[in-house]
Structure formats: C-alpha cells, structure tokens
Amino acid sequence: MLAAVAAAGVVATLAACGGSSGGAGGDDELTVWMLTLEGSQKTAMDTLVSDFEAAHEGVTVKVETRSTDAHKDALRQVAGTDSGPDVYWYWEGPGLGGELVEAGLSKDLTAEYEKYGWGDRFGEATLSNITRYGGYHGVPFTQQAEAIYYNKELFAKAGVTAEPTTYAELEAAAAKIKAAGITPIEFGGTVNWHVMRLLDSLLETNCGSETFDQLVTAKTSWDTDCVGRSFDQLKTWGGEYLNEGFQGVSNDESSQLFYTGEAAMAYEGTWFDSQVVDNGMDPANVGIFKFPTGTDRLYGFGEGFYINAATKKADQAAEFLDFITSTEEQKKVVGVWSPISVNTAVTPATDNPLHELWPPLYDAAKGFYLNNDQNLTLAQTTEYWRIMNSVLTGETAPADAGAQMQKFIESES
C-alpha cells in the first residue's frame, strides 16, 4: 500500500551497512524490514535512519524493503525462526498484525511502554490495535485513512459539479464520467487488496456499521440481503466503471491512469498525498471525499513497527522505535506517510495542499471501519478475495456470494 513497485521477492536496501539480513548482522547493526519506499518516503526514512545513527555512535541500521505481497510472505516464512529481522513494519488489526502476533513473531513491549512512556505519546484510538492482544504489540507509526481522490478538471469536463455525498450520487457521477469518455475510477486487480477497498465500502454502505462489524467477527451470517446487494454493486462497478482490463494490472500500473489524467478517481489513502506530488500532479487540481457510505465512520487502518520476539537486540530496537516516533523526528516526516502524526504532540502537516483536506474528515468521523484483510483471518481473507474475483468474472452470482462466505466461515469452526 505504500507504492510497492518492486517485483515480488526483490529486496532493496536503504542503508546497507554490511552483514546479512534477518537480524544476523553485527552486535551494533539493526535490521529493519518494511515495504518498498520511493520518492519522499524513501527520503524521509533515510533521514530517520541517519539521524538515529548520528545520535547512536557505532550503531548502524540496515533497512530492507520488499513489495507488499513479498513482504507478507517473507515475514510468514521467518515466523518461529531466528532468521527474521530485528524490527519489522506491518499493519495492525487481527487479520495481518494479529496473525504474526499469534505466530510468536512479535515481542510484547509492555516493559518498553513503561520505560519510554509511550502510552502518553500516542492517542487512545491509535493504541487500540496495539493493546488488543493483551500487553503491547507494536509501536504505532501511522494512522491511515482512505477516501476517494478525484481530478477536478475531469469532474468538470464530465459535468460533475459537486463531490458525491450519497452512494446514489457517486454512481451517478461515475455514469457521467464514463459518458464523457473518461475512465471513472482506477483499480489494479492483480493485488486483491486494491479492489477489496471498493467491496469493503459497499458492505459498510449496504449493511451499516453494526452489521459490518458483526460480519467480520462472525457474529452474524454473511448469507443476507445486504451482502448480496454489495456484491451486485461490485459487479456493476467492475463491468461499467473500472479501468478496462483492471484484473490484469497491479495497483502501481493502475495508479498511472490517475497520475496521467486518464482516470477521474482513485480509492487511496493518506499516503497518496505525497505520491500525487511525486508523480507530477498539481495537488490544487485534486480533491478528496469520503466514500459516501451513509455511516459516520471513516475507512482506514493503523500501521506500526514491531520488535521480533527472537531478536537479541531488543534494547537497541526499542531505542530506535523511541527515536523515530519522538516529537523532534516526527515533525521532520509528518505528511510523508500521513498528514497526521501518531505522536499527539505533532501538529498536522501543511506543506502539501492535500494534507489540509484530511483533518475535517478525521474530525467528522465517529470511528473507523478497517480494511477486511485486517479484520479477517488469513484463510477468511483468501476466501473473501476468491469470491470477490469470482463475482467479477461472472463465475459466481452476486446473490450466492454471501452464502459461500458463510459456508467457509462455518467450515472453520
């Protein structure tokens, strides 16, 4: 989700300081694994690393980056071994971060939270996914929100004069944009989590917040009308409003359609502010609006850095995480990954006009609904994606999708 453009399995090193990966370097070398970084994000991470090294003489930090799916695979492979990194970046929530907590890869940081006073550094909402497993697993790094970015010129060309505030208005806008010969919205289907954003929001729209939460926690059946309507709308979007051939391209390829003015909308998150600028767009020509679900919640998720339970350098790793989330360092990088820092002492960024569009959305939100690959177990997520793709290709009728998902969940019991 952070501009993962490297081919799967390819490792890029930001600060190579010798030694092997997986935390196996010298006693004064920390190994950090995270997603591929480009442009301002790479510059910002380089700054955090170099500042830490300057303040900790003799200590070096080796940052290894991978594409999204390769990063997930690499961490799953080292879980339960001593060949992993000292520190790893990962999503929060039970479906992703929780999977590695359950696998024993994450160190409980209760003692570190007490030592460094981290409980006072981060807000209550930001810490909710850190404390959900008992103790403290991970240190918050971002609290991302996701919404619709749109090209103002393309909206005007298509005769869309206002940001949609209801689902009906959003679909009507997409129809106008298509009639004007413009791709309404871009998605990359080879990475399932990209199109999943649309399906997640359709479920929140049709089922409402309470039922959405009950669905993803197996407290109510997926075999219900609101789920069927969501999959039916998904099929409509896939056939009418998404970029042609979306199932055969990645999110990075589809994003180019937005950057070059070929697609009017992109369903992205706060990290996209910097990517819009990095890819040559004029931010003054870009707007942002919440997906009009009709609920008061904002779509989003948290990301954090975790300390490997197997590392022999836990003290140095904690010093590193304390340093990069400090007020001084967060002031330097706020706005790169998100306009709002997880450090409550840091004011929101204003260096990019797009950053100023997010605080009103955060302020108006009454909570978040998470991406479902963070809500669901890995097995459930895989089935959710399979059904999603099957509906989009016409192999499964939308009305049957909920029953299939419910059957799978019951089979796990």
Question: What pTM did the predictor assign?
Answer: 0.78
Nearest alpha-carbon partner for 266 in 283, 286, 282: 286
The pLDDT value recorded for residue 25 is 53
- Range 181-185 average pLDDT: 98
Please state, as a whole number, how many other Cβ atoms lie within 10 Å of the Cβ of residue 195.
26
- For the beta carbon of residue 340, count every other beta carbon within 10 angstroms: 24
Say if 132 falls within a structural domain: yes
Q: Examine the pLDDT at 252 and tell me if it is beyond 90.
A: yes
In a shared domain, residues 253 and 218 = yes
Residues 225, 312 within the same domain? no
Residue that the structure tokens 């998150």 belong to: 269
Amino acid code (one letter) for 190: T
Q: Following DSSP, what letter does each residue of 6-18 receive, concatenated?
A: SPTT--EESS--S
CATH number at residue 67: 3.40.190.10
Task: Please name which of 268, 328, 275, 272 lies closest in space to residue 299, comparing C-alpha atoms.
Answer: 268
198 plus 237 within the same structural domain: yes
- pLDDT > 80? residue 384: yes
Together in a domain, 59 and 104: yes
Q: Are strands 263-269 and 139-151 parallel, antiparallel or unpaired?
A: antiparallel
Same domain, 167 and 275: yes
pLDDT in tens, 300-318: 988 999 999 999 999 999 9
Q: How confident is the model at residue 20 (pLDDT cuts 50, 70, 90)?
A: very low
What pLDDT, on a 0 to 100 scale, did the predictor assign at position 16? Answer: 36
Residues 257 and 231 in one domain: yes
Q: What is the rounded average pLDDT of the residues 18-33?
A: 65
- Region 281-295: what's the mean pLDDT? 97
pLDDT at residue 9 tops 60:
no
Whether the per-residue pLDDT at 12 is higher than 70: the answer is: no
Query: Among 124-133, 138-147, 344-353, 402-411, whose mean pLDDT is lowest?
Result: 124-133
DSSP string, 275-337: HHHHTT--GGGEEEE----SSS-EEEEEEEEEEBTT-S-HHHHHHHHHHHTSHHHHHHHTTTS
pLDDT of res. 388 = 98
Do the domain assignments include residue 82? yes
Share the mean pLDDT of the chain.
91
Owning domain of residue 165: 145-299+366-412
Q: Which of 358, 374, 404 is the endpoint of a domain?
A: 358
Share of the chain above pLDDT 70, in %: 94
Structural domains counted in the chain? 2
Among residues 36, 41, 42, the alpha carbon closest in space to that of 5 is found at: 36
